[in-house]
Amino acid sequence: MALIVQKYGGTSVGTPERIKNVAARIAATQDEGHSVVVVVSAMSGVTDSLIKLSRQITPTPADREMDVLLSTGEQTTIALTAMALNAIGRRAVSLTGAQAGIITDGVHTKAKIANITPRQVHEHLDNNEIVIVAGFQGETTDGRITTLGRGGSDLTAIAIAAAIKADVCQILTDVDGVYTCDPRIVPNAKKIEEISYDEMLEMASSGSKVMQSRSVEFAKKFGVVFEVRSSFNNNPGTLVKEETMSMENVVVRGVSIEKNQAKITIRRVPDHPGTAARIFSAIAASHVIIDMIVQSDSVGDTNDISFTMNKDEWPKAQSVLEPVVREIGAESVGAQGGIAKLSIVGIGMRSHSGVAARLFEALSNGGINIQMISTSEIKTAVIIDETRIAEAANLTHEAFGLSK
Amino acid sequence: MALIVQKYGGTSVGTPERIKNVAARIAATQDEGHSVVVVVSAMSGVTDSLIKLSRQITPTPADREMDVLLSTGEQTTIALTAMALNAIGRRAVSLTGAQAGIITDGVHTKAKIANITPRQVHEHLDNNEIVIVAGFQGETTDGRITTLGRGGSDLTAIAIAAAIKADVCQILTDVDGVYTCDPRIVPNAKKIEEISYDEMLEMASSGSKVMQSRSVEFAKKFGVVFEVRSSFNNNPGTLVKEETMSMENVVVRGVSIEKNQAKITIRRVPDHPGTAARIFSAIAASHVIIDMIVQSDSVGDTNDISFTMNKDEWPKAQSVLEPVVREIGAESVGAQGGIAKLSIVGIGMRSHSGVAARLFEALSNGGINIQMISTSEIKTAVIIDETRIAEAANLTHEAFGLSK
């Protein structure tokens, strides 16, 4: 008899039929003797429809009102899910984020959870009811509806699990778990049984978008063990938890790839203090996220500075950078697309030497040129030609024995 | 500088374009120097779509969850309306029923308003903001979402107007006001400038469904003067208020007609105490609403009892009545359709004699046979052949000089 939090994403509840399937799964969990709290997302497509509707009113809707609008998506799903459970003879009740006691700060459309007072959740659990909570949403202390931004429903599930001290938190989605690499690119990829929070974070920040980083960070902060698994079958998924001694035995947990990157190079940046700060604070102010940064050694009294970003962000960055480049007296700024990032992630890197070398050798054996390199404590990333990324992923996967 | 509550129905906010028109109207009201609170319904069609969605889950959804589901309809409209006002430079905020402090009893899908604590409404008004409130919904003291049933948005508007002591409450709809008769049937019908609550109630209960009776009753109880007017033009509408001396000078305020009626007759009901009670409590238990009741004089030791109801309700009533008829030892029960009700309504009837006679004479002159008669203090109603109803309405309208 455990207390279980289950989260079902938009695809899993995408149609009335699928909601009925989800209800059957929840009932089966209850039949195993467990108490169940369920967090659901909006049915797939609903959030986009609501955004489209708002755009018919104005291209720039107020954030406060977007939250009121978008939160109806999850509210619809909780009602339908509770109905589906009632229809098969289960006592179930729905709660909005506000009703479930999800208190957030006041930053509309991307609010942070401040605390949770799950009084109503406890009352219904004590009453032997299944509780269906709307993901992605909360309210401020002064009673405004807020939403948590992308990946917000995962965050709701993990935060609720922490608040009610759940024994298990299951993130049910349309994939079977976290894989050693994207199986569409590396057919030999294997499902990972256990992964540490830090590895999961590095995988997420490197393109393996099973979950948003903020949910993993929240889980890490509050020590919530969670499992990523499929809502369409009963296979065990991937357990995400604090690292254990045995995890260090694996040098590389997975290979993550990210396409659609661009490399920006600013040529002949005058080599004096403050120029780099001037460049990157301008980009930060435009909310463009940059990834790898490389500064070449000085040639005379100038440097070349290169960095990568999502290719789609370049026009926005360009309009910010061109005046800055003129202002600091650099020669030029230009972008090169057609590149991709490949990362290897694993906490075992800390205690194993030669990991980067093994990666470079694998790529070299395939005749794949490395354009940039970046390393962190548990990750090594390289930028290569986008057309070679599948080949590189398979070579790397093989080199670290991840198919076994 | 007045405090004005405006309510816009589903047709008035039926498309993004119409919501923008509504926003322009609200802005114009503010430009006249007024503070404005707006109550909106779900966009037309939305509630039906949600009901249809619920039916794909189960034919008998739980009432609690229907309320959670349906309340998303108005929540969508408040967000879009506030956005539309923001987009034209107005400070406007949306509030759900719960946020506006609409506290109801716990009878899901047809809750009654228990009280209103419009703290947030006042705060935003004090802040010179336009407040957009979701109609039709509220919450219980223990935090459950409820809906108010049919006509609930009118009720919200009138209740809010009472709670914040608004100077004016405008019910903006797709008709120009209350007419002396349905203009589609009586082309000479005129818009009524002023009507008393009681007349409005009798008109509503006689088929002139501009508003549900409960909203008018609420307005009467709390003395809320309201105006029914069109959201598609700027014509003055009909003012509904406490009766005044001058209202009595008009003998008949309007003619109301109701088609699609059925007359039920139970033959040879044994004439002893309790039989009528047995019949009508059985019907009441089945939630069928009956209208006129006539009991013939005793013939021997039995009576015939007749009553009318909406024709569509007959199958439900029949299944309840047949066992009762056998049980009490009456001869038979049968229904006759093809009839309609015509009512004349006016508080002037109290002080003017011969009103009923003038009605009967008008119908007689047209050769229209009267099948049943029912009278109240300010209403006289007759049942006639449905095929003659338009003719009867025009004759009656003329006889009481309502076209002038």
pLDDT one-digit tens code per residue, A178-189: 999 999 999 999
Regarding an ipTM greater than 0.90, the answer is no
Q: A348 near A248, Cβ under 8 Å?
A: yes
The CATH architecture of the domain made up of B255-399 is: 2-Layer Sandwich (3.30)
Contact B66 A79 (CB under 8 A): yes
Residue B207 pLDDT class (50, 70, 90 cuts): low
Nearest-by-CA chain A residue for B68: A79
pLDDT one-digit tens code per residue, A343-361: 999 998 888 888 999 999 9
> B24 CA to chain A: closest CA distance, Å?
12
Across the range B217-226, mean pLDDT stands at: 95
User: A-chain residues within 8 Å CB-CB of B57?
Assistant: 16, 19-20, 80, 83-84, 87
User: A-chain residues within 8 Å CB-CB of B96?
Assistant: 68, 145
Contact B75 A79 (CB under 8 A): no
Averaged confidence pLDDT in chain A: 93
Residue A240 pLDDT class (50, 70, 90 cuts): very high
Contact B86 A61 (CB under 8 A): yes
DSSP label at residue B212: -
> B17 CA to chain A: closest CA distance, Å?
7
Residue A165 pLDDT class (50, 70, 90 cuts): very high
| Candidate from B78, B84, B99 with C-beta closest to A58 | B84
pLDDT of residue B351: 83
pLDDT of residue B290: 87
Unique residue bearing structure tokens 């307005």: B219
What share of chain B has pLDDT > 70, as a percent?
99
Cα angle: B96, vertex B147, B52; to 5 degrees: 105
Phi, psi of A152 (to 5 degrees): -65, -30
Across the range B386-403, mean pLDDT stands at: 95
| Candidate from A53, A80, A93 with C-beta closest to B69 | A80
What share of chain A has pLDDT > 90, as a percent?
79
End-to-end CA distance of chain B: 35
Contact B61 A83 (CB under 8 A): yes
Least confident of A145-159, A300-314, B116-130: A300-314
The CA-based diameter of chain B, rounded to the nearest angstrom, is: 78
> B54 CA to chain A: closest CA distance, Å?
6
pLDDT of residue B208: 67
Nearest-by-CA chain A residue for B63: A83
| Candidate from B65, B76, B99 with C-beta closest to A86 | B65
> A136 CA to chain B: closest CA distance, Å?
16
Contact B60 A87 (CB under 8 A): yes
User: B-chain residues within 8 Å CB-CB of A76?
Assistant: 50, 53, 69, 72
Averaged confidence pLDDT in chain B: 93
Nearest-by-CA chain A residue for B23: A57
pLDDT one-digit tens code per residue, B303-347: 899 999 999 989 989 999 999 999 999 999 999 999 999 999 999
What share of chain B has pLDDT > 90, as a percent?
79
pLDDT of residue A287: 82
Contact B58 A84 (CB under 8 A): yes
Q: Find which of B38, B49, B57 to mutate to test the A interface (most A CBs within 10 Å of its CB).
A: B57
> B18 CA to chain A: closest CA distance, Å?
10
Across the range A329-355, mean pLDDT stands at: 91
pLDDT of residue B300: 79
| Candidate from A17, A56, A79 with C-beta closest to B69 | A79
User: Cα separation of A76 and B379, whole Å?
Assistant: 45
pLDDT of residue B72: 98
What six digits make up the tokens of B106? 């716990």
pLDDT of residue A207: 65
User: B-chain residues within 8 Å CB-CB of A16?
Assistant: 53, 56-57
Residue A285 pLDDT class (50, 70, 90 cuts): confident
Q: B148 near B113, Cβ under 8 Å?
A: yes
Across the range A153-174, mean pLDDT stands at: 96
User: A-chain residues within 8 Å CB-CB of B65?
Assistant: 79-80, 82-83, 86, 93-94
Residues of A with CB under 8 A from a CB of B: 16-17, 19-20, 50, 53-54, 56-58, 60-62, 64-66, 68-69, 71-72, 75-76, 78-80, 82-84, 86-87, 93-94, 96, 99, 120, 143, 145
pLDDT one-digit tens code per residue, A52-100: 999 999 999 999 999 999 999 999 999 999 999 999 999 999 999 999 9
> B309 CA to chain A: closest CA distance, Å?
33
What six digits make up the tokens of A203? 């995988």
What six digits make up the tokens of B393? 């309405």
pLDDT one-digit tens code per residue, A4-45: 999 999 999 999 999 999 999 999 999 999 999 999 999 999
Q: B362 near B399, Cβ under 8 Å?
A: yes
What six digits make up the tokens of A98? 């506000």
Residue B302 pLDDT class (50, 70, 90 cuts): confident
CATH no., domain B3-174:
3.40.1160.10
Per domain, the residue ranges of chain B are: 3-174, 255-399
User: A-chain residues within 8 Å CB-CB of B56?
Assistant: 16-17
Across the range A123-138, mean pLDDT stands at: 97
| Candidate from A54, A82, A120 with C-beta closest to B143 | A120
Contact A68 B79 (CB under 8 A): yes
Residue B272 pLDDT class (50, 70, 90 cuts): confident
pLDDT at A208 over 80: no
Contact B68 A82 (CB under 8 A): yes
Across the range B293-312, mean pLDDT stands at: 85
Domains A3-174 and A255-399 alike in fold: no
Q: Which residue has the higher pLDDT, A302 or A159?
A: A159
Contact B16 A93 (CB under 8 A): no
pLDDT of residue A374: 87
| Candidate from A53, A58, A86 with C-beta closest to B62 | A86
